[in-house]
């Protein structure tokens, strides 16, 4: 069973043609900006003086102006986010759901948890809470089955999510799905099947192909599938309320603080930082990054389930090692030195994903990190690395 992600009351469609009264100047400018940005006129709706695209994403005047400022992006249908994102200086986003009760209250807590349990540049909490950088108001909209929200503007999230009271007949998981979906719009996500709504809705076409408003997020699937993303246009009665793998990849790309230019050494199978000279390889000479991808390592995040902190960069050999245990061995001699390192976090027990490479291991002989999918590793303590007692770490690879 498919359900529309938003059921709007009767309103003016297609640039308000046929309305008995002309829209206010601000509304008209928003409409004109969206058309200029490339959104199809038949996908733009005006309801109660508010402008929507994609049936559930409200666009403010400021947001529509920002879209035009970013004109010039490549036009492609495999895109996922808007040009408007939130500023990474926001450390805590709070959600005011004071009118939510029963299943709606439970679902709101679960939706907030979906974001807060990830290593993002911001935490998310329900009010009352201290230290809020921005507060989103969650509103119950009677008679609606679905929800609506809007896109960021000025580096801030959209300020309201409307959740349909008609969802009361659905499970907590489905309500959680809709709330999580609408929160996704407030931080800049578009529908994953925006280019063909019939994928999740059964009917419908393209919400708009303009590059200014729909940009591919690296590491996400190129095409949408039924149930393949929490950000699909329409939901099903069987939704779990949890992010799909592509959703998590998108969040990691946009909002997980990372450092790139970490490389795999084909001589020793270890991981080292390729942005500095003077690396030392246990196989002799410097590390060799020929054939390596570009790895992104999370840093300076709060303790997060599924991520292990305490990993360090060694300023003597440029390698990555676990600083939580004694007895490390550096190929430059003595122990690794992480005294000038940041606190790096590795994802474990996550498996592979579009932007994750699994099978990285901790060596209990030298405390270093190495790729366990190839033979021929070399450990500075002698012989090959040993990952027999290691967890399975997954590194962000783009």
Quickly list DSSP for 316-327. Answer: TT-BEEETTSS-
The arithmetic mean of pLDDT across residues 340-349, rounded, is 95
Token pair for 322:
């676990």
CA distance 182 to 148: 6
pLDDT at 311: 98
pLDDT at 329: 98
Please give the share of the chain, as a percent, with pLDDT higher than 70: 82
Q: Are strands 57-58 and 147-150 parallel, antiparallel or unpaired?
A: parallel
Instruction: Give the DSSP H/E element, type plus range, for residue 62.
Output: helix 61-69
Which of the residue ranges 22-36, 145-159, 281-295 would you say has the lowest mean pLDDT?
A: 22-36
Q: What is the pLDDT of residues 228-252, one digit of tens each?
A: 999 999 999 999 999 998 899 899 9
Can you list the domains of the chain with their CATH numbers?
A: 2-254 (3.40.390.10), 257-398 (no CATH)
pLDDT at 207: 77
CA distance 188 to 250: 11
CA distance 191 to 207: 9
Question: pLDDT band for position 180 (50/70/90)?
Answer: very high
Question: pLDDT band for position 283 (50/70/90)?
Answer: very high
pLDDT at 320: 98
Question: pLDDT band for position 42 (50/70/90)?
Answer: low
The one-character DSSP state at 180 is H
pTM over 0.85: no
Question: pLDDT band for position 36 (50/70/90)?
Answer: low
Residues 161/100, Cβ–Cβ less than 8 Å: no
The one-character DSSP state at 176 is H
Question: pLDDT band for position 146 (50/70/90)?
Answer: very high
pLDDT at 212: 37
pLDDT at 243: 94
pLDDT at 345: 97
Residues 123/91, Cβ–Cβ less than 8 Å: yes
CA distance 251 to 257: 11
Question: pLDDT band for position 211 (50/70/90)?
Answer: very low
The arithmetic mean of pLDDT across residues 258-280, rounded, is 97
Please give the share of the chain, as a percent, with pLDDT higher than 90: 65
The arithmetic mean of pLDDT across residues 124-143, rounded, is 97
Question: pLDDT band for position 26 (50/70/90)?
Answer: low
Model confidence at 99: pLDDT above 60: yes
Q: How much is the mean pLDDT over the chain?
A: 85
Instruction: Give the DSSP H/E element, type plus range, for residue 57.
Output: strand 57-58
Question: pLDDT band for position 118 (50/70/90)?
Answer: very high
pLDDT at 178: 97
Question: pLDDT band for position 389 (50/70/90)?
Answer: very high
């Amino acid at each position: 069973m498919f359900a529309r992600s938003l059921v709007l009351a009767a309103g003016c469609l297609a640039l308000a043609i046929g309305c008995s009264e002309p829209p206010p100047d601000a509304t008209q400018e928003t409409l004109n900006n969206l058309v200029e940005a490339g959104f199809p006129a038949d996908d733009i709706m005006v309801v109660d003086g508010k402008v929507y695209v994609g049936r559930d994403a409200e666009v403010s005047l400021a947001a529509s102006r920002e879209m035009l400022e970013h004109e010039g992006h490549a036009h492609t249908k495999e895109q996922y986010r808007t040009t408007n994102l939130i500023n990474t200086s926001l450390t805590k986003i709070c959600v005011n759901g004071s009118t939510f009760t029963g299943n709606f209250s439970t679902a709101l807590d679960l939706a907030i948890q979906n974001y807060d349990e990830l290593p993002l540049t911001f935490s998310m909490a329900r009010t009352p809470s201290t230290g809020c950088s921005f507060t989103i108001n969650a509103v119950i909209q009677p008679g609606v089955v679905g929800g609506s929200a809007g896109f960021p503007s000025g580096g801030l999230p959209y300020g309201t999510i409307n959740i349909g009271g008609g969802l009361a007949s659905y499970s907590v998981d489905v309500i959680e799905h809709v709330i999580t979906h609408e929160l996704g719009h407030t931080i800049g996500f578009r529908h994953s099947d925006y280019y063909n709504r019939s994928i999740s809705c059964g009917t419908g076409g393209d919400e708009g192909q303009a590059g200014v408003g729909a940009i591919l997020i690296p590491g996400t699937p190129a095409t949408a599938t039924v149930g393949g993303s929490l950000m699909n246009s329409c939901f099903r009665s069987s939704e779990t309320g949890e992010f799909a793998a592509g959703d998590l990849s998108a969040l990691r790309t946009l909002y997980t603080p990372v450092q790139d230019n970490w490389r795999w050494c084909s001589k020793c199978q270890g991981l080292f930082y390729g942005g500095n000279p003077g690396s030392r390889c246990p196989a002799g000479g410097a590390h060799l990054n020929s054939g390596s991808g570009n790895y992104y390592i999370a840093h300076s995040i709060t303790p997060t389930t599924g991520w292990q902190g305490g990993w360090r960069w060694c300023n003597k050999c440029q390698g990555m090692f676990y600083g939580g245990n004694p007895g490390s061995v550096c190929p430059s001699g003595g122990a690794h030195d992480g005294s000038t390192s940041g606190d790096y976090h590795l994802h474990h027990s996550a498996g592979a994903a579009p932007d994750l490479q699994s099978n990285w291991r901790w060596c209990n002989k030298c405390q270093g990190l190495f790729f366990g999918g190839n033979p021929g590793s070399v450990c500075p303590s002698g012989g090959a690395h040993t990952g027999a007692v290691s967890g399975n770490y997954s590194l962000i690879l783009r």
